[in-house]
Amino acid sequence: MSSDKILIVEDEKEIAELVRDYLVREGYQVIISPDGEQGLQDYRRHAPDMVILDIMLPRVDGMELCRMIRNESNIPILMLSAKHSEVDKILSLGLGADDYMTKPFSPGELVARIKAQLRRYTLLSTPPGNQGMLKYGELEIDSKGYNVFLAGKKVDLSAKEFEILNLLAANPQQVFTREQIFDRVWGFNEFGDINTVTVHIRKIREKVEPEPARPRFIKTVWGVGYKFDGG
Ligand code: CA
């Protein structure tokens, strides 16, 4: 049984309680907030492991709340939307949501997605065999704090850039295909554009590689994908 804490921010009481019942049955602790303002307060007070966020909310809407939570943390956020058009908006705004579902959804499917996100997050934030600190030459990755340092200077990476770098660096010499990286970092496939991975890798290299054109850390394995060279 898991004791992970999940915050549901949803003004439709029936939906919130239905989801809560499913999650409680799976052993999760659940907090329900009926509006965006309360949601932010509950987020800060209870420090949940994951947030389920409805888009249309009274007071502070779900997109705004998503942005505010993202400023403070990288925990998984799954958004609920009533319209397909909102999904496009979530994606185009780059709010940092990890997954989304359109209403009406199957609670069983939602629980499966929540589990997948929590598993992914735990995997990314706690590489085995160290205290969450990876060090390769001048490159240091603080997996728990989501910080990267190059020669002691903090490197500004987006959440997804960080997750890709962390995934590769936690598994040095292991080759990942772009599809594998996409699945592990984004965690959902429907709207996936594999080229996103290429774009992110380029940005990471620009930020952490002394010579981005001749990468020392993130090596391209032609025709396959990428691997992290730790040696
Ligand atoms: Ca709503």
Q: What six digits make up the tokens of 6? A: 């999940």
* 3 state SS of 210: coil
Amino acid at 187: G
pLDDT in tens, 204-228: 999 999 899 999 999 999 988 999 9
Q: What six digits make up the tokens of 71? A: 């400023």
- CA–CA gap between residue 119 and residue 193 (Å, rounded): 22
Residue 32 contacts residue 52 (beta carbons within 8 Å): no
Residue 25 contacts residue 17 (beta carbons within 8 Å): no
Q: If you search the block for the tokens 């890798």, which residue do you land on?
A: 201
Name all domains of the chain by residue range, CATH numbers in brackets: 5-125 (3.40.50.2300), 133-228 (1.10.10.10)
* 3 state SS of 183: helix
pLDDT in tens, 151-165: 999 999 988 899 999
- CA–CA gap between residue 175 and residue 221 (Å, rounded): 7
* 3 state SS of 140: strand
Question: Ligand 1 centroid vs 36 CA: distance in angstroms?
Answer: 10
Question: Ligand 1 centroid vs 136 CA: distance in angstroms?
Answer: 46
Sequence-separated (6 or more) residues with CB below 8 Å from residue 34: 10, 11, 13, 16, 58
Report the pLDDT value the prediction gives residue 166, as an integer from 0 to 100: 93
Residue 218 contacts residue 204 (beta carbons within 8 Å): yes
Computed over every residue of the chain, the mean pLDDT equals 87
101-to-11, 104, 115 alpha-carbon distances in Å: 16, 8, 14
Report the pLDDT value the prediction gives residue 131, as an integer from 0 to 100: 58
Q: pTM here?
A: 0.59
Residues of the chain with pLDDT under 70: 1-2, 88-93, 123-131, 187-192
Sequence-separated (6 or more) residues with CB below 8 Å from residue 99: 76, 77, 78, 79, 113, 117, 187, 188
State CA 221 to chain mean position distance.
25
- CA–CA gap between residue 132 and residue 229 (Å, rounded): 18
Report the pLDDT value the prediction gives residue 1, as an integer from 0 to 100: 43
Question: Ligand 1 centroid vs 95 CA: distance in angstroms?
Answer: 18
Question: Ligand 1 centroid vs 62 CA: distance in angstroms?
Answer: 9
Could you list which residues have their CB under 5 Å from ion ligand 1? Answer: 11, 54, 56
